[in-house]
């Protein structure tokens, strides 16, 4: 269990590194394209190493993988393995999971089992990588299970570094990650907390409008260096959405060290900084 008072921040968006035994050769090519897009150097930490790294910095973290088996054919890193490592490091790490919505009833059954038996507290969806519109009714039984168990749904929004620079973008279509498709989900599942992940380029204003309009929608600031945040995003984070914006790094795309150093330079009110870094996430995750 987390000691919230001892934490300096909560990172709502980190990715578990796929171990070599689960790596698909084509997935490795996709990962290398993503690493080139973000300028990532060195070898990403294992999930256990991430726990030690974050513990040293007194930063709690939410960790997950992404299941895109139906589109990509890549063997996924099992949600259960991520959850087990998180359970070993429950003082600093919370497990989320990822289930390809195309898995239908089997995916719904898995989601309920993960929440009830493995302590999973939320689910990551990546519409562009999973090739579905979030408001596709195919996914609604999965959302219903998440909502009934009181878990959180995180949706990638905007452009993605995955497939960037590859022929045809690696087959990944950006249209699926327009956040306006999530607006329907927020209407149809008003009790399910929803996080729009990342500054939503090129749909930033849409994301801000949804988060302002729908009480259950939040925005995490992961995947972008804070020095590149659009001015309108900073303005809303500093005012109307000060209780709806969350720190996220998108590790390994960005390290929390880099993100936090650049966040310090943003023109934010002193009372807003702790909300973004910890307080909003603590409330969302049920610690306050």
Q: What does the domain layout of the chain look like in residue ranges?
A: 4-284
Mode of pairing for the β-strands spanning 122-125 and 245-246: unpaired
Are 253 and 223 in contact, with CB atoms under 8 Å apart? yes
Tokens of 129: 């990588």
List, in sequence order, every residue forming a beta bridge with 217; answer none if it has no partner: 194
Check residue 28 and give its pLDDT. Answer: 64
> What does the pLDDT read at residue 165?
83
- What pLDDT is stored for residue 1 in this prediction? 81
For helices 79-88 and 104-117, angle between their N-to-C axes, nearest 10 degrees: 10
Tens digit of each residue's pLDDT, the chain (288 residues)? 899 999 999 999 999 988 877 776 666 666 676 677 677 777 889 999 999 999 999 999 999 999 998 888 888 889 999 999 999 999 999 999 999 999 999 999 999 999 999 999 999 999 999 999 999 999 999 999 999 999 999 999 999 988 888 889 889 999 999 999 999 999 999 999 999 999 999 999 999 999 999 999 999 999 999 999 999 999 999 999 999 999 999 999 999 999 999 999 999 999 999 999 999 999 999 998
The pLDDT value recorded for residue 40 is 73
How far from each other are the two terminal CA atoms of the chain, in whole angstroms? 13
Largest CA distance in the chain: 48
> What pLDDT, on the 0 to 100 scale, is given for residue 161?
86
pLDDT of residue 33: 66
What's residue 266's pLDDT?
A: 96
Q: How many CB atoms lie within 10 A of CB 63?
A: 27
pLDDT, residue 185, reads 98
Q: What is the pLDDT of residue 285?
A: 97
Q: Which pairs with CB-CB distance under 8 Å and at least 24 residues apart come from 226-232?
A: 226/259, 226/262, 226/263, 226/265, 226/266, 227/262, 227/265, 228/199, 229/199, 229/266, 230/199, 230/201, 230/204, 232/204, 232/205, 232/208
CATH class of 4-284: alpha beta
């Amino acid at each position: 269990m987390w000691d919230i008072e001892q934490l300096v921040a909560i990172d709502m968006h980190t990715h578990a590194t796929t171990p070599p035994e689960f790596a698909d050769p084509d997935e490795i090519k996709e990962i290398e394209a993503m690493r080139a897009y973000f300028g990532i150097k060195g070898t990403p930490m294992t999930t256990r190493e991430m726990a030690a790294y974050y513990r040293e910095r007194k930063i709690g973290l939410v960790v997950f993988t992404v299941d895109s088996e139906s589109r990509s054919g890549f063997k996924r890193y099992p949600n259960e393995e991520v959850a087990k490592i998180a359970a070993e490091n429950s003082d600093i790490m919370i497990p989320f999971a990822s289930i390809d919505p195309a898995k239908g009833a089997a995916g719904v059954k898995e989601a309920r089992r993960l929440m009830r038996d493995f302590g999973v507290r939320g689910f990551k969806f990546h519409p562009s990588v999973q090739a579905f519109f979030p408001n596709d009714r195919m996914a609604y039984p999965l959302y219903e299970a998440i909502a009934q168990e009181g878990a959180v749904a995180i949706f990638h929004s905007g452009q993605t570094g995955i497939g960037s620079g590859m022929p045809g973008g690696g087959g990944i279509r950006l249209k699926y990650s327009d956040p306006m498709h999530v607006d329907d989900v927020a209407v149809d599942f008003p009790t399910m907390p929803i996080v729009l992940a990342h500054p939503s380029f090129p749909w930033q204003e849409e994301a801000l409008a949804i988060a302002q309009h729908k009480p259950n929608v939040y925005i995490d600031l992961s995947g972008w260096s804070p020095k590149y945040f659009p001015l309108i995003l900073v303005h809303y984070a500093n005012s109307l959405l000060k209780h709806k914006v969350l720190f996220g790094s998108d590790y390994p795309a960005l390290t929390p060290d880099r993100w936090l150093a650049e966040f310090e330079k943003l023109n934010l009110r002193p009372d807003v900084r702790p909300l973004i870094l910890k307080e909003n996430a603590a409330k969302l995750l049920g610690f306050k």
